[in-house]
Chain A
Amino acid sequence: MRPQDILMPAATGLCCKPGGFHIDPVRPVERALITHGHSDHARPGHGAVLATQETLDMMRLRYGDNFARSTQAISYGETVSLGEVSATFHPAGHVLGSAQIAVTHGGTRIIASGDYKDASDPTCAPFEVVPCDVFITEATFGLPVFRHGNAADEVAKLLASVALFPERAHLVGAYSLGKAQRVIALIREAGYDAPIYLHGAMEKITHYYQSRGVKLGDLRPVKGMKKADLAGTITLAPPSATSDIWTRRFPDPVTAFASGWMRVRARARQRGVELPLVISDHADWDGLIATINATGAGEIWVTHGEEEALVHWCTTKGLAARPLALVGYGDEEEAALTDDEGGSE
């Protein structure tokens, strides 16, 4: 069977006919395999859902107990048979519980990697290279200008600013699921052990991370704190809150934003960010091409992001490549105005 008969792009998402399921469907389907807990990949209303325990827990936290008719948890490395195919989950290194899904039929293996990164992250299992025939990759940062450097250097920048402006509050915008916890963990790795404050919207998910054994140190709600007492402190908040009247409770706040988009100045300035922190939960350009090479795949399918450049690169390296044109995972035209991180929240 040809790869495109095993997995095919459809309006509902990636569809596996011989296995009778969809991967990360954007509309309700009978049976869904979910790569990770971000809302554009993990949507409510499906019949049966197969995902890692963490992903299922995150869906439950966001949508309530009845987000699907039935659920089944699967561990990394575990394989299930579905119709004519088998599916195995492997770590994707994107957020806690994120997985790549290997779909095997006969001698053909296709990896649907979802969102992934190959950079180190103390809050989730590291990305695993799985040899395959077809590798389906995202391209959120699929341009050679996106080379994200070391997240620890960015956190050092933040801490230097906290030292230079002890009378100001530092407000770090970060996506609530994954990015925020990673930033906190990196701050702790850098040796900062003062309390870190949280916007109300991140408390639940952050406590979930802690319950899974991720060490984040002394975390406190920012609600109820006196303005003067927030001088010299660090607070994590969802990106939308950092440009809100909510920030008036802070003394002369320095607005930081942790995102791979911060690599491009215009993007940072558009949001009024004063301290851009280039910390991404997606693979950068070097990461994308290194991963593509490492999988040994002869055929590359590119999903959401800057498909054009990545497909072009694959072609120049003699790899068969095509954009999948899946919808529902972020839209370049609108991204300019709404600036969501490639739809990862």
Chain B
Amino acid sequence: MNRFAELLDRLAYEPGRNNKLRLITSYFREVPDPDRGYALAALTGALSFKHAKPGLIRDLIAARTDPVLFALSYDYVGDLSETVALMWPRSFLKQPPTPEPSPPLAALAEGGEKQTTGETPLPPRSRRGGVGGGGTTATTASTVNLPSQRTSTQAASSGHNNPPPPTLTEVVITLRTLGKTELPGQLARWLDELDETGRWALLKLVTGAMRIGISARLAKTAAAALGNKDPHDVELIWPGLTPPYVDLFAWLEGRGDKPVNRDPAPFRPVMLAHAIETTDFANLDAADYIAEWKWDGIRVQAVSGRDENDNATARLYSRTGEDISKSFPDLLPSLRLQDSSDVTLDVSRKPLRTFRHQAFAIDGELLVLRDGRVQSFNVLQQRLNRKAVTPKLMKDFPIHLRVYDLLSDDDGDLRELPFAERRTRLEAFIAQLDDPRIDLSPTIPFDDWETITAARADPASAGAGDDADAVEGVMLKRRDAVYLPGRPKGQWWKWKRDPHIIDAVLMYAQRGHGKRSSFYSDYTFGVWTNGESGEQLVPVGKAYFGFTDEELIQIDRFVRRNTTEKFGPVRHVVHEANQGLVLEVAFEGLQRSTRHKSGVAMRFPRINRLRWDKPPREADRLETLELMLKAEGGMPSP
């Protein structure tokens, strides 16, 4: 675990892609199976166990430290796992007490000679047992004149408390099988055994919050480099592999055959688009691209196949590869392959399908359609938020799949074909399928960027018609783009419609977390309304991104200089008609909300611009939001 922790620690600071690869590959080279396999699983997000809740971690530390010292420390560090990792008291279990002789005072007074070695005439202060070693639980001899010189000869003992610490494999296996009631005790034992970095990594792992800037793609590329293989090859066989990937490493090290994927309906890692900037168009040729609408739904992959026994399987995957078939029983029949018997015996009636597919994988958007019309994301969300999928829910929120790519068909994997060719096949495939629940996402005809700019500005008259409200923007895909997992450069672009924008006033600020823990970076903003006491600001949302680092420093300074009240980590910032800071806030949509005093909730709000030039009294009013809400046709949130 400590070696894995060391890797995570180093990766968390290393900005360079190639250097990250070097660090991961050298880890795979040094560390044996199965530890390295579980590390690969952790880095690719393939580990699944019930994560420990932050509340559990808080309880563990609360039982071991002074609450005031913990609160001050957490406020300073800003990250729960890190605070606990650093504060966790050194344990004295299994340690024989270290007797510390008290030297006479005279010996202490002689310590004035300059020393150029790590040697000291005084007995060292123990880092493991003895005085002062235990943070808040420590300290016995309070008035004895103990010398407290530490020496470098203690290097071996300074790290962890009770060696040996657990291996990564032990941690993963134990977590998978452990009962809920045993978790706190087990976690505490591990925390006792690990050093600071090990504790940090363990807590990140068990709370499922790694966030160290490593993509799954990068980790797989590092594994591929171990055997000088093409990362794409690893990507293709990946869906059939399971941790700890012993067969994968055997192949990479030339000790085994290439693993094959035996899943009849495997997930294929999805291809993603870059957000286009207006300046990008100068370097792009319209003739190289095909345009489609970007739908405001849920990206899914629908896969169908047959196993060795010719049994048909159909699955619906989320964009991250999670199997979400169970939530959409109303869509599955449309995906299921007809058994050969069904087709032949069905001659009396009009057969639904007169052809027979062996397997396919399609990429598309999940939407709710009522009377042939695409509903807004708000409506779709009401279907998604329900736990039980009832017949009523399926009737009220009829699910639909709008497709835009074909990744495989009876001819096998199509991902290496150019997009234009896949699109032609897709059109034929959908026509043949002829299912009312599945249709084709249309292309937008265009010859130049002006046409597409106009289409994006007014989707309704550019072909989206009644569905225009569900159009989030435009997708631009290179005709010759092969289907690559991840976000390859220059292949697919997304060009969103202008988001909603309002001017709001900064009301409260809170300290951020992680690298922003020393800045006030979480902002609550409000708009004007006519309340009981006349004109007043009512909070309408919270945002903690959208600004540049430079702007963060400016806002932070503003907050510190204009604080009217402090409540723990929250500062009230001056917000009056002529005094305060106006924030231009962009957001994706609005919903009615009973949880917010204002009655509205924003989707995806972020700080678009700082309006130092604008006095707060000129900020927007709640009525403006109400109007937007009406225009959106937003419905009450569940």
Return A308 CB to nearest CB of chain B, in Å: 6
Interface stretch of the complex, out of B48-56, B109-117, B184-192, B240-248: B109-117
- Alpha-carbon gap, A316 to B136, bound state (A): 10
Residues A246-305 near B (CB distance < 8 A): 252, 263-270, 272-276, 285-287, 289-291, 293-296
Decide yes or no whether A337 CB sits under 8 A from chain B. yes
The residue that B116 contacts in the complex, of A127, A150, A213, A308, with Cβ under 8 A, is A213
Known: A123-B116, A129-B146, A290-B132. A268 touches B13 (CB 8 A): yes
Known: A122-B115, A151-B152, A153-B158. A276 touches B13 (CB 8 A): yes
Residues B190-221 near A (CB distance < 8 A): 196
Decide yes or no whether B149 CB sits under 8 A from chain A. yes
With CB as the reference atom, state the residue of chain A lying closest to B517.
A266
Known: A118-B149, A127-B149, A290-B148. A145 touches B86 (CB 8 A): yes
The answer on a CB contact under 8 Å between B131 and A290 is yes
The binding surface of chain B is classed by DSSP as: loop
The answer on a CB contact under 8 Å between B154 and A91 is no
The answer on a CB contact under 8 Å between A124 and B86 is no
With CB as the reference atom, state the residue of chain B lying closest to A146.
B86
Decide yes or no whether A39 CB sits under 8 A from chain B. no
Residues A108-144 near B (CB distance < 8 A): 118-120, 122-131, 143-144
With a cutoff of 8 Å between Cβ atoms, the chain A residues found around residue B556 in the complex are: 336-337
With CB as the reference atom, state the residue of chain A lying closest to B151.
A120
Decide yes or no whether B95 CB sits under 8 A from chain A. no
The answer on a CB contact under 8 Å between B72 and A309 is yes
With CB as the reference atom, state the residue of chain A lying closest to B148.
A118
For chain A, the count of residues having a C-beta within 8 Å of the partner chain is: 74
Residues B71-102 near A (CB distance < 8 A): 72-73, 76-79, 82-83, 86-87
The answer on a CB contact under 8 Å between B146 and A290 is yes
Residues B123-146 near A (CB distance < 8 A): 125, 127, 131-133, 135-136, 138-139, 141-146
- Alpha-carbon gap, A335 to B138, bound state (A): 30
The answer on a CB contact under 8 Å between B118 and A189 is yes
Return A22 CB to nearest CB of chain B, in Å: 24
Most buried by A among B116, B141, B143: B116
The residue that A274 contacts in the complex, of B13, B138, B155, with Cβ under 8 A, is B13
With a cutoff of 8 Å between Cβ atoms, the chain B residues found around residue A126 in the complex are: 111, 115, 120, 122, 149
With a cutoff of 8 Å between Cβ atoms, the chain B residues found around residue A324 in the complex are: none
The residue that A145 contacts in the complex, of B83, B117, B120, with Cβ under 8 A, is B83
With CB as the reference atom, state the residue of chain A lying closest to B83.
A145
Return B468 CB to nearest CB of chain A, in Å: 43
Decide yes or no whether B333 CB sits under 8 A from chain A. no
- Alpha-carbon gap, A309 to B135, bound state (A): 12
The answer on a CB contact under 8 Å between B78 and A266 is yes
Decide yes or no whether B108 CB sits under 8 A from chain A. yes
The residue that B82 contacts in the complex, of A77, A150, A264, with Cβ under 8 A, is A264
With CB as the reference atom, state the residue of chain A lying closest to B519.
A336
Q: List 4 tightest A-B contacts by C-beta distance, closest first.
A: A290-B132, A76-B112, A336-B518, A145-B86
18 cross-chain CB contacts under 8 A: A118-B148, A119-B150, A125-B111, A143-B73, A164-B23, A264-B517, A265-B79, A266-B516, A266-B517, A267-B518, A274-B13, A274-B15, A289-B138, A290-B146, A293-B131, A306-B76, A333-B560, A336-B519
Interface residues of B (CB under 8 A from A): 10, 12-16, 19, 22-23, 26, 65-66, 68-69, 72-73, 76-79, 82-83, 86-87, 105, 108-109, 111-118, 120, 122, 125, 127, 131-133, 135-136, 138-139, 141-152, 154-155, 158-159, 196, 514-519, 553, 556-557, 560
